[in-house]
Structure 1
Amino acid sequence: MEKLFSFQNNILQNTPLSFKRYLYQQIPFHSRLVGVKGIRGVGKTTLLLQYFKTQSLSTSLYVTADHPWFYQHSLLETAEEWHKQGGRLLVIDEVHKYAHWSAELKNIYDGFPEMRVLFTASSALDIYRGEADLSRRALSVTLHGMSFREYLSLYQLADLPSFPLSDLLENHQIIAMELMQTLKTPLLHFKKYLQTGYLPLGVQTSSEQEYGMRTFQLIDAVLGFDLAFLHDYSASHQSKIRRLLGVLADTVPYIPNIQELATVLQVSRNTVLMWLQHLEQAAIIRNIHKEGHGTSVLQKPDKIVLENTNFNYALGKTPNEGTLRETFVANQLCNKGHHLVLAEQGDFMVDDKYTLEVGGKNKKKKQIAALSNAWIVKDNIEIGYTNVIPLWLFGFLY
């Protein structure tokens, strides 16, 4: 196992401790089997390695499932050998790249009750639907991209608190004024965040162009490797899914005509619906439904947006400002765990309680004038008034 220890030590030397993601304090690290899901580049590995560095290195082992070691050794054999050497913590990176991950995780869990296992996996992976039943064994958490608040912290622009949605809506004027005592130019930083702030790739890139290129490569890797591996896509299907994403990227927010898409792609209607679900599971797009509509696999979404605004820039040269606003609001609310649907009046209904109308600086209240618990979410304003709330404040939900 010497090669594994050597690889582990090299990785640990390059793991920073200065900035920790919002999820770090929420993960039940004490549990015996915990999976952290998320899109490539979101920081899953760094998060687990930061925890790893707080544990006893003499009883902790980090491995990545695509290491050459596993060409000749199984995960179960590795865990067994590590247990014999006194190992009590095993961290497995990118478990979805290992063919029989669920069966071997089950055997490790059942066979070595003294050992805790933490693992990372693609957003597209349903850890409860593998070949072995992990539903009673594994806890799964999802690491989303950075909020605007986290972006400010990562780049040492400001260290600010998060707020529940109810507080933001009810006290947005006071909150905005308090935040601006530290954050003098929120709109300037917010515009940069929308383009290059969602993934922590920016610390490794020197320009907006390089960030966009790396983000595009990340999306392409999700399509060509993660989804292709998990769902056994053929080369032909991969090509058609890329074409589907291209159509969506050019027209978001997209009101889908599923039969038209099926005809263009030369596949069945149900195949298109399945691919849309796979793209959402992989955190590439977001399928939004109207109030009262179902969300089953074969239920057509009523609107489609990209998962985050950085993807709008990576997949299109000049994203529409209205699209960016809607994408940002949907992204931050859903990442925080709020239930979001399209509203009959206004843009979004949140948690069956709040109505939001999203727009630019000149957006009027006419569409929601007769509604209670309704807010105008305006871009390009620093501080709101009455039921008009600045768009950038939604970046402080987590």
Structure 2
Amino acid sequence: MNLEHLLTKEHLQIRETIREFTKKEIMPRTRELEADYSLVEEVHQKLVDMGVQADGYPEEYGGGGHGSMKSLCIITEELAKGDAGISLSVGINAGIILKPAMVVENKFVMDQFIPRFTGDKLAYACISMTDEQGGADSENPLLAGGGIKTTARLEGDEYVINGAKSWPTHGGVAECYLTVCNTDPSAGDEGIALIYVPKDTPGLTFGKPEEKMLFKTSINSSIYYNNVRVPKEYRLAGPGMDANIYHFFEVGTGWHSSAMALGVAERAFELALAYTGTRMGGFKPVRQHSMVAGILADMAIGIDMMRASVYNLSCMLDNLDVYGPPWSPQLISKASATRVFAGDKAVEIVNKGAELLGSMAISKDFGYEKCLRDAKIFQLWLGGQQICRYRVARGYYDLKNWA
């Protein structure tokens, strides 16, 4: 996709700034960053100092007031070229988790949490979604909320939350936890509740950080809710609208996954292109051989199609007056199609590049092995590719709930 006519001078400046930051602060230090999380936090703090964290929040709270999906897509893509885990954290902290409160104008939640993200210090946010019991059932749209095992019971003016969540990003370090709960499993979508839980709330505890082969620069820890009590005002909106916003999250997280996948695939292509230009075989650079040229062409074609899909979705999300509410089956379907395509294509592109690099693809000294590790998650998280396909199908016909 040719983007230049779609990007403003501000977009171009953002792209150049983040691209140069990534080349200077992340790419030369990937091994050190994966080994020492304090260095990761130094990178995040530099991005905070640049205004990236605050940019997606309203100006009245000290934010930048921008928050366009196109701008965040540029930031996500460019950072993911250096480190997808850092890119993931930046997107989460820059407004994705508190965006629902801004959409429904829950001023209580906004007043409580947004100022923590518009100051001069790094702050983490967390979406607490996948249940320890049932796993991807939490994200399965055919279960109409019935797969959500974490419960929320209204007692007077407080919600009492019980349950356990697995693999949430920023578990244990976040300022707030947007928790996906169920008030009544028999009520379908009406039983879905989204409740913000502040850190240090009594009854809120965490597991140890997960040991992972990929995304080592982002923290994942289980979250446990043992009679966690929060004022009812921390609920996002109420029955019905909470479910709409949860489905909106299916759009937003799928978009975010796709933008990161694009960055990882682009980095893999850059490394493969450079290596095959200097590696000699048959008395000439190997990329001058027709077989290698064909593989590089396939990688380039895939990236072009990924970019077209991801930025088209970004433009759609920036123009909801045209495309309708983000929780509509049609928009969820389009976002899910982009997520499935981008996830599968990223793995395909990275694997093709590895064939060209041979043993260098798995050398820690070269850096391509990081692309191999990081790409796989885009097919695995957020319910996985198969459950995501249910959302695609629902944009075209009435795929029934399981009941």
Bin the TM-score by the shorter chain: under 0.3
Which has more helix, going by share of residues?
Answer: 2
- TM-score, length basis structure 2: 0.27
